[in-house]
Amino acid sequence: MTEKLTLADDAKGICEEAVARHFMPVLKYRHESVPEIVTSITENIAQRLTQEAALPRKYIVHCVILQKNGAGFHALSACSWNPVSDACYVHHSENKAMHCVVTVYGVVA
Protein backbone atom coordinates (compact mmCIF):
# COMPACT_ATOMS: atom_id res chain seq x y z
CA MET A 1 0.00 0.00 0.00
CA THR A 2 1.38 3.40 -0.96
CA GLU A 3 1.34 6.30 1.44
CA LYS A 4 -1.04 9.11 0.57
CA LEU A 5 0.69 12.37 -0.35
CA THR A 6 -0.48 15.46 1.50
CA LEU A 7 -0.18 19.18 0.98
CA ALA A 8 2.37 19.24 3.80
CA ASP A 9 4.54 16.82 1.82
CA ASP A 10 4.68 19.32 -1.03
CA ALA A 11 4.71 22.59 0.93
CA LYS A 12 6.92 22.01 3.98
CA GLY A 13 10.33 22.07 2.34
CA ILE A 14 9.41 24.77 -0.15
CA CYS A 15 8.10 27.06 2.62
CA GLU A 16 11.15 26.43 4.80
CA GLU A 17 13.53 27.27 1.94
CA ALA A 18 11.66 30.42 0.85
CA VAL A 19 11.45 31.77 4.39
CA ALA A 20 15.10 30.92 5.08
CA ARG A 21 16.14 32.77 1.94
CA HIS A 22 13.93 35.87 2.06
CA PHE A 23 13.04 36.35 5.76
CA MET A 24 15.64 34.87 8.11
CA PRO A 25 18.59 37.05 6.97
CA VAL A 26 16.63 40.24 7.80
CA LEU A 27 17.58 41.01 11.39
CA LYS A 28 15.83 44.36 11.86
CA TYR A 29 12.19 45.28 11.26
CA ARG A 30 11.88 48.01 8.63
CA HIS A 31 8.31 48.80 7.67
CA GLU A 32 9.28 49.87 4.14
CA SER A 33 11.03 46.53 3.46
CA VAL A 34 8.18 44.24 4.55
CA PRO A 35 6.08 44.43 1.33
CA GLU A 36 9.07 43.30 -0.74
CA ILE A 37 9.82 40.41 1.63
CA VAL A 38 6.17 39.27 1.65
CA THR A 39 6.02 39.45 -2.15
CA SER A 40 9.26 37.48 -2.54
CA ILE A 41 8.11 34.74 -0.17
CA THR A 42 4.60 34.33 -1.61
CA GLU A 43 5.66 34.45 -5.26
CA ASN A 44 8.54 32.03 -4.71
CA ILE A 45 6.36 29.50 -2.88
CA ALA A 46 3.47 29.71 -5.37
CA GLN A 47 5.81 29.36 -8.35
CA ARG A 48 7.72 26.42 -6.88
CA LEU A 49 4.57 24.59 -5.78
CA THR A 50 3.10 24.98 -9.26
CA GLN A 51 6.29 23.58 -10.84
CA GLU A 52 7.47 21.00 -8.29
CA ALA A 53 4.51 19.66 -6.32
CA ALA A 54 3.75 15.96 -6.62
CA LEU A 55 -0.02 16.51 -6.62
CA PRO A 56 -1.81 18.68 -9.19
CA ARG A 57 -3.48 21.46 -7.21
CA LYS A 58 -4.36 25.10 -7.38
CA TYR A 59 -2.51 27.04 -4.67
CA ILE A 60 -3.18 30.13 -2.61
CA VAL A 61 -0.23 31.45 -0.59
CA HIS A 62 -0.69 34.00 2.19
CA CYS A 63 2.16 35.55 4.20
CA VAL A 64 2.09 37.74 7.31
CA ILE A 65 5.16 39.42 8.78
CA LEU A 66 4.75 40.89 12.23
CA GLN A 67 7.21 42.97 14.21
CA LYS A 68 8.16 41.57 17.62
CA ASN A 69 7.09 44.35 19.95
CA GLY A 70 5.17 42.55 22.66
CA ALA A 71 1.76 42.73 20.99
CA GLY A 72 -0.27 39.55 20.77
CA PHE A 73 -1.18 37.93 17.48
CA HIS A 74 -3.63 35.10 16.97
CA ALA A 75 -4.56 33.64 13.60
CA LEU A 76 -6.51 30.67 12.34
CA SER A 77 -6.62 29.28 8.83
CA ALA A 78 -8.89 26.57 7.54
CA CYS A 79 -10.36 25.38 4.29
CA SER A 80 -13.39 23.23 3.65
CA TRP A 81 -13.96 22.87 -0.07
CA ASN A 82 -13.46 19.12 -0.26
CA PRO A 83 -12.11 17.68 3.00
CA VAL A 84 -10.91 14.53 1.24
CA SER A 85 -8.56 16.28 -1.19
CA ASP A 86 -8.12 19.94 -0.18
CA ALA A 87 -6.02 21.22 2.70
CA CYS A 88 -4.05 24.04 4.21
CA TYR A 89 -0.51 24.07 5.59
CA VAL A 90 0.86 26.68 8.01
CA HIS A 91 4.56 27.45 8.45
CA HIS A 92 5.79 29.73 11.24
CA SER A 93 9.29 31.15 11.61
CA GLU A 94 10.74 33.87 13.74
CA ASN A 95 13.96 35.74 14.08
CA LYS A 96 15.16 38.33 16.60
CA ALA A 97 12.91 41.11 15.25
CA MET A 98 9.91 39.50 13.52
CA HIS A 99 7.47 36.64 13.12
CA CYS A 100 6.62 35.20 9.70
CA VAL A 101 3.50 33.08 9.17
CA VAL A 102 2.93 31.49 5.76
CA THR A 103 -0.33 29.72 4.96
CA VAL A 104 -0.67 27.59 1.83
CA TYR A 105 -4.07 26.42 0.64
CA GLY A 106 -4.11 23.55 -1.83
CA VAL A 107 -7.25 22.79 -3.83
CA VAL A 108 -7.38 19.83 -6.20
CA ALA A 109 -8.00 21.14 -9.69
Q: With respect to residue 91, please indicate whether it lies within any of the assigned structural domains.
A: yes
Which string of DSSP letters, residue by residue, matches 68-99?
-SS----------S-TTT-EEEEEEEE-SSEE
- CATH for 39: 3.30.1140.40
User: Could you read off the pLDDT tens digit of each residue along the chain, which spans 109 residues?
Assistant: 456 678 888 899 999 999 999 999 999 999 999 999 999 999 999 999 999 988 788 999 999 999 999 888 888 877 778 888 888 999 999 999 999 999 999 988 7
Q: Which residue range is the domain that position 57 belongs to?
A: 7-108
Number of domains in the chain: 1
Q: With respect to residue 2, please indicate whether it lies within any of the assigned structural domains.
A: no
Torsion of CA 9, 80, 41, 48, to 10 degrees: 50
Q: With respect to residue 1, please indicate whether it lies within any of the assigned structural domains.
A: no
- What's the pTM? 0.90
